[in-house]
Amino acid sequence: MKTHRELAEQLDLFHSEQQAPGMLFWHPNGWHLFQNIQEHMRRCYRQYGFKEVRTPQLMKKELWHISGHMDMYAQDMFFGGEQNGDQEYALKPMSCPAHILMYKRGVHSYRDLPLKLFEFGLVHRNESSGSLNGCLRLRQFTQDDAHVFCAWSQVKQEVGQFLQRAKQIYNDYGYQALEVKISTQPEKALGDDASWRRAEDILKEACQAENVPFDIQVGEGAFYGPKIELALQDAVGRIWQCGTIQLDFNLPDRFELEFDNEQGKAEQPIILHQAVYGSIERWIGILLEVSQGVLPEWIHPQPVALVSVNDSVLDYANQLRAELEQQGINVSCEFGDHSVGRKIKRSFELKIPNIIIIGEQEAQAGKLTIRRGKHIEIINQEELISFLKTKQNLR
């Protein structure tokens, strides 16, 4: 089996450089794949009432003191200062303090809750050089970083919706086997024991309500609250840790968050930190390793290849390419001087699911020979566009 790094090279997706360890340079094919995956997640979040936001990557160090990250997480963060000043900043390792600042801008009633924000947050974590591994372990990556601000009475329902959404998304990619673990209070933790027990019990009840079996990981929770971790099992039995939801009753206290309850009194909300992919880069790495590069057609960066038989058909081939691109279909073009066999082989190496062979007969008749694996079919241009758009809209 090939590694995700070997497949990324073969499919021309991304590469790394010594000048930026733990970070990726995305090529056009890879970035198109990244955006397709991102857009699928965006649609799923919106279906559950989330609003997308964008927050800064660089924020003052004092913010991370308030959040507790300076006490619990500073060794994993990057810091810097102003060129002509004494103000210190940190690159965010996660987006939660920024989303909390957005919540604090307004006065909230129980009628406003749950308030759901999500962001494709570009984050930085100071991982050791020895732990870096392609796109599975990076220093810079993109989280589907979502936060729900809600009352205690709403937590169980929101955790249940997270489990539903995660199962839906994983099923879209063909993953069926799901392992769920609940991580409980660690040795270094914020907050009192009673709140931790209450939160842990709610997570267990939510899993039971969704008929999701789970194991307990004692002492493995985040420093601010217990969490559920989701892991996928692939066809050869490998386990991949992906999604997580963390129940947080500590940051609302540290940031003095409030909402007016039904009695008109100030009450502290709960924050649910959640991510389904965990990291889009890591998700792509897992997808490559599991599929061995045979990507789902609805996210494929180049779902169709156009192969010209000779130069006499180039005008027609370019016309077809332009029409497909106008329809939002990304195209791989094999119009060079190589033999048809070599062009087809190159398309197979790129794992392109649909190969269109264009010869003089096809150009004159307006018919196209489409090859899908071993299956070959003759269709016209309108049928091709309809077929490809249907494949793109499967999810």
Positions marked active-site: 96, 125, 143, 145, 147, 227, 273
**How far apart, in whole angstroms, are the C-alpha atoms of residue 342 and residue 337?**
10
CA triplet 96, 101, 106: central angle to 5 degrees? 130
**How far apart, in whole angstroms, are the C-alpha atoms of residue 136 and residue 321?**
35
**How far apart, in whole angstroms, are the C-alpha atoms of residue 164 and residue 196?**
24
Contact 251, 67 (CB under 8 A): yes
- 5-44: b or e for each residue (b if 16 or more CB lie within 10 Å)? bebbeebbbbebeeeeebbbebbebbebbbebbeebbbeb
The owner of tokens 């649910």 is 272
> Distance from CA of residue 381 to its chain's centroid?
34
**How far apart, in whole angstroms, are the C-alpha atoms of residue 209 and residue 152?**
17
CA atoms lying within 13 Å on the CB side of residue 128: 2
